[in-house]
Structure 1
Amino acid sequence: MKIEYADRMRTVGEMGAWEPWLEFFVEGIRTQAAEAVAQTNDL
């Protein structure tokens, strides 16, 4: 995950490709939020 994040950030710097990075970042937030909800429900 860290490598993909760094690769996408490098692409932003080199080519200004913000959209793919933002999609990756938002998907990470969505995944972590879903895991947090599942853990909370398990409690």
Structure 2
Amino acid sequence: MDHFAKNINSGKCLLVRGGADNAPAVQHTCLNFVDQYWGFL
């Protein structure tokens, strides 16, 4: 099951641009993009 991480102060979701290894995670408008999905191990 995939989840998203949303900042309660900004209302934005955590996103990894492009999903490449070592890509920086940034806050972005929550738009249900695949690179906004996170899983827990």
What TM-score, normalized by structure 1, do the two folds share? 0.20
Taking CA–CA contacts closer than 8 Å with sequence separation of 6 or more, which of the two structures ends up with the larger relative contact order?
Answer: 2
Q: Counting strand residues as a fraction of each chain, which structure ranks higher?
A: 2
Normalised TM-score (structure 2) = 0.20
Q: Which has the higher helix share?
A: 1
